Structures are given as C-alpha cells and as structure tokens.
Amino acid sequence: MEPRNCHIKTGRCTFATLALMILCTAGLMPYTTLAASAPAAAGACGPVTHSRDVDAPQAVDMWDAPVDASGEHELILAVHQDEGGDRFCYVYRWHGVVHSVAPAIHVRRGEHFAIRIVNDINSQSPGESVPSTAIPPCKPMRMTQAPVQHWIGYLNHVIDDRYFEVMDVDTNLHLHGFEGPASEENVFLSTLSTPMHACEYRITIPLTQPPGTYLYHPHAHGAADDELGGGLVGVWIVDPDSPQIPRADQHVLLLRYRLPIALDMQPPSQASVKSFALAAATHAGALKPGSAVHYDPFNPPAWPITHPLRAGGIALSRSGCNSNIIPEPDISVDGADTPATLEIPANRTQLLRLVNATSDSSKLLRIRDVLGHVLPFRIVERDGVPVSGDMQHPLSRYIAMKELMLSPMSRAAVLLTAAPGATFTISSEPFCAGGGTIELHHDLLQITADSDTQRQAHRLHATHITVSDTPAAKLLAWVRANPKRIRRRAITFTQYRFPERGKIPGHLAFYITDTTNPDFHEHSFWPDYRPGETEPSNPDIVVKQGSIEVWYLINATDENHAFHIHQMAFVQEKDYTGIPATLDTVFVPVGRLLPDPRDPNYPLIKPSITRVILDFRHVPRGTFVFHCHMLFHEDRGMMGIIRVE
C-alpha cells in the first residue's frame, strides 16, 4: 500500500531531514535528483522565471479591500496547484489585476476584516464567486477510520499509533502569530466540508497585537507540508500606529524552497536508503515490552535512537553531526534564485523583514560586508514582537546579534543603513541538523546600496537595548523569583519508523507528548468532536487562563525540531545565542549521542532540553494546537491539543 499523503500529488521530495530522506528514497515518495529541470510551463500559478532579482510581493491594505455582503472588507484567496508540479499558490484579484503570488497583507490593530479561503486544488469551486453570505459555516476536518496499533516506545512506554491517510487534498487558514481567539482562525476547519469548498474567516486584530511581521499558511492536517513547501505561504503585517520607516524602505524577504525543487548535493542511492529504512522498521517492530523506566521528567535519561548508524551502505557519524549525506533543497528569496540581489537606497535606513517560509528547514543566518567580515544584525523585532516591548515605537531599540537562527516560520526584522555602493551578503551557515549531518554554507542574498548621493537621507535613530532591559529577560527574572507560582511541564519529541502490519503500511510516526506524569502514552494527533462542535473535545493539555507555565521541550530524537504554539508568543530562556527572547516558534536542537555497549549500532541519545515560559494571563480562552513546525513531522502526528479555560 502506498500512502497518499507523502507528496504523491506534488511530486515533491525535499529531503531536509533524515526522516524525509528515508521516506523519499524508501519508495514512498517520488524521487528528486540533481538533474537540471526543464523550464516550468505557466500553469495556474503563473510562469517560473528563476530571476536573481528580488521581486517584492504585492502589498494589500485590508482597509482598502472590497466590502463583502456582510459589510466587511474581504480578501478572497483561491488555492490552486500547478498540474503535475511542485507549486501551490494563492490566486486573488487586487484592483482589477489577477495575482498568483501571495500578497503581503497589511492590517491595523483593532481592525475587522474577512479572508475567504477557496479550495480550487482539484477543480474550480463555486465558493470563489458567490457573496459571502452564501458561504455556509465550515465544519471540522474528519479523520479517517484507523485502528489503534500498539508499539514499544520511549522509556518502554506503550505507543498508541493510528496511521492517517489523506484521501482528498484539503486546505484552510492559519494566521501564524495571531493573538486573538482561536475560533476566529480555527485551524480544525475543512474547506471540503461544504458544497462551496470555501471557508470564511472573520478576523479582529486585537488592540494588544504587537506591530510586526506574521505569516499566513494552510493548516489542514496531512496536507500542510506539501502545500506550504510548495509555496502556499505569505506574510501579514501589523502596521504600527505611527510608521517610523516609509513602506518604500521596507522589504519582505521570504526564504522559500526554489521551485521546481533542486538539491544542493547528490543523495544516497534509493537502494541504500531502502535498506536503511528497512533496518529501522525491523528494529522497531522487534522491541519487546519491558518495565517502564523510572525517570525525572525534567532531566530524563539517555535512551536509544530509533534508526541505525550503519545499514544499507549508509554510515552516519557517531558524533551525530559530522556527516554530509542528506541533501538540502535550494532556497529562493521572494522567488528569486540564490544568491539573490536586492538594491537599496543609500543613506536611508531600511527595514528587512527576514522570514523563514520553508516547511522543514531551519536556517542559521549571518551578514557580512564586502571583505567577508561578519557584522551584527540590528534586530528590532523577532516573531512579530518588538525586542523592546515598545508597541508605539517598535523600531526605536534593537539588539545586536552576530547570528540568527530562524526555524521554519520564524521571522526577524533588521535595520540596515548603507553608504553609497556598500555591499552586504546574507548567508546560511553550518550547524548540527541531527541525523548525523551538518548544514552547508549558502549565500542567500546580496544587498547593494545605490550610488545616488543627491537623494535626501533618512536615518532612523535607533538605540541599542541591553538584554537585561528586554521584556523577555524581565519575565524570566520574575519566574525565577517566584518558582512556587509556576507550573512545570515536560513536553517530549519522539519519532519512529514502524513496519507493515496487516493492512497498515510501514510508516514514519512522530509524537509530541506531555511526559510530566509517569503514566504517559505517546499517541497520534487525532481530534474528536461532539456533534455540532468545531473544536476538539479531547485536549491533551488543559491550562487555566491567568497561569504561567515553564515547558521543558525535550528532544529525544536524533533530529532537530521547531516548537510552535498558536494564539500566543512565549519566552525562550536561552535562544541559539544564549539570550532570552520572545518568540512564537523556537529551534529545538538535537541531543548528544552516547555509546550503547548493548547495541553499538543504536547508540543512546541524551536529550536536549529547551525551556520556554508560557504566560497565559492574556491568552483568550479556547482550544488550539501546539506542534513541531517542521511540517513533515506535524503532518505525521507531532501535534497536540491544548485548551485554555
């Protein structure tokens, strides 16, 4: 049996991780090689030009959008896919012109508007051309019937696994970073649940929403990785009450996969990886029940990894980070091939909105001058939140950082002022990605200031803020001073490859589990709904509004992850550079491999622990999700449900 939720419709096989490589080359996903691809035909998503010049997305001011039948400004985004290709796109009309590149949607705090998502993936849907009042309320996406299968998992606990197969390509909307009620951007809804194949989302931007850079993308379980990785992603920007930099001096720079997909190195042979995958599945299937291990949930013991170091002619590094066998998809910047080029005006402060809009690839960024010297980024915003906490003057204070880790969907806004003719290069740098591999260096963007010395200069006066003065550092200090008022949770990331059993095919499975209590069970994401309800009735975690919790993100796998929770930002105690930061998506690094004399081919991994502070004092009541934002992992189960009461 061949799973249909493995890029079968897109033909896309972006490795990026060990798990992806195993699934792609084990015959479950179409295989992508380094051979030059033919020029793509202009389909529903338009032509592919492969220019190196950055072409900014169309700006759409929601207050200028047409008014719908309900009296609200409405933007209609129709989701299309190129026939037989990698690409998905939003098709929309703006001021009489049809566009197929996701717009940069500008909104204001307190603003009301509507976004209609229409599913035109398989055929033209009626929901694109009817009045908004003709769109019936959408219902939740239904999970297919699947038996629960039991396996032996982390610390000898039982896994309750349910294999999920996508039958139809669904889509919906998630406003990544939105701090309003979860019900307004309900990610459980399905565009296929009504005859219109469309969902109408009515949004109110909270008055407390920080001015900054956010993302919108699909969140249909089982299809999100294909769609976002295929280009179905855009930014929404909350403009400050009083702009500090003209829009002409602001640049949205989306790092996305180059389409059609191309890889930065030759992958192992399919035969080798099939043998490697078979060894992993055979090992998982042969594990016998044992006594559950007693453990400290906040400092768990080392535990064997779930794939071999050596099998099928593939040999991974025993250090976990020194091999170079896993290809990485090439990156584009706003659709331009890398290294892309951007010309900016000299002597005018520019705001660079750097966005990791890939589905599965973390990026460690640096900026250097023409001599190759590494320069500090002047960062005024991370994941939409001003580093200073100043919502009226969000660009007035900055933190200087010499490197910047952006997980999938992470963002950073950077100030840059250049002298005439100055040149800068933004690159992605090597780091340990797990699975025995290390990322490679790639130049992504070359920025050159023009030589116009007659233009009026415009330099924003921004000052450096010390880390201890940031809201992130202040909340961390308060939490440390008030430990009795804080609840701790252990949230553990695990993953496996299971063999075929009965009618269920061999498959990869990913879990994110609250392991605070000793009777935990790893289990698949599987929402249940009461009749007539659109939010799941089976949350994995229930918290009280007004509480503050510290979550220990425990990575018990040999692969990095990216933690994200909806409806809120949180504070990471120490980011990749070691400072506290307010984020909504955080890089979760791999742990440390240790030898296991009982089976040297399956060494132990001492989990990494990433601590984050979740402040529920201002989070609206409702039911939403937390998950790994490497969407290949999320689509295969690494997602949980949380309810704020």
Q: What CATH code is carried by the domain that includes residue 433? A: 2.60.40.420
Q: DSSP E strands: which ranges in 310-466?
A: 310-311, 314-315, 331-333, 336-337, 340-344, 350-356, 363-369, 374-375, 377-382, 385-386, 397-401, 404-406, 411-416, 423-428, 432-434, 437-438, 442-449, 463-464
Does residue 504 sit in the same domain as residue 630?
yes
Domain total of the chain: 3
Any domain includes 3: no
Position 5 scores a pLDDT of: 35
Does residue 105 sit in the same domain as residue 200?
yes
Rg (CA), the chain: 24
Choose one of 420, 443, 464: the last residue of a domain.
464
Choose one of 417, 440, 464: the last residue of a domain.
464
Does residue 478 sit in the same domain as residue 531?
yes
Ramachandran class of 23: left when φ > 0, alpha when ψ lies in -120 to 50, beta otherwise: alpha
Any domain includes 158: no
Does residue 356 sit in the same domain as residue 291?
no
Q: Which domain holds residue 377?
A: 331-464
Position 38 scores a pLDDT of: 35
Any domain includes 262: no
Any domain includes 189: yes
Q: What is the DSSP letter of 435?
A: T
Q: 190 and 172 in contact (C-beta within 8 Å)?
A: yes
Any domain includes 338: yes
Closest CA to 579 of 464, 473, 477, 469: 473
Does residue 492 sit in the same domain as residue 617?
yes
Does residue 530 sit in the same domain as residue 614?
yes
Does residue 460 sit in the same domain as residue 499?
no
What are the tokens at 258? Answer: 């180059």
Residues of the chain with pLDDT under 50: 1-12, 26-41
Does residue 609 sit in the same domain as residue 563?
yes
Does residue 575 sit in the same domain as residue 499?
yes
Does residue 217 sit in the same domain as residue 75?
yes
> For the chain, what percent of residues have pLDDT higher than 90?
81
Strands 189-190 and 104-107: what pairing?
A: unpaired
Does residue 584 sit in the same domain as residue 509?
yes
Any domain includes 365: yes
Position 1 scores a pLDDT of: 27
CA distance 291 to 289: 7
Does residue 66 sit in the same domain as residue 126?
yes
Q: 594 and 303 in contact (C-beta within 8 Å)?
A: no
Any domain includes 99: yes
Closest CA to 332 of 355, 304, 312: 355
Position 550 scores a pLDDT of: 98
Choose one of 239, 273, 293: the last residue of a domain.
239
Position 577 scores a pLDDT of: 93
269 Cβ contact list (under 8 Å, min separation 6): 25, 313
Any domain includes 159: no
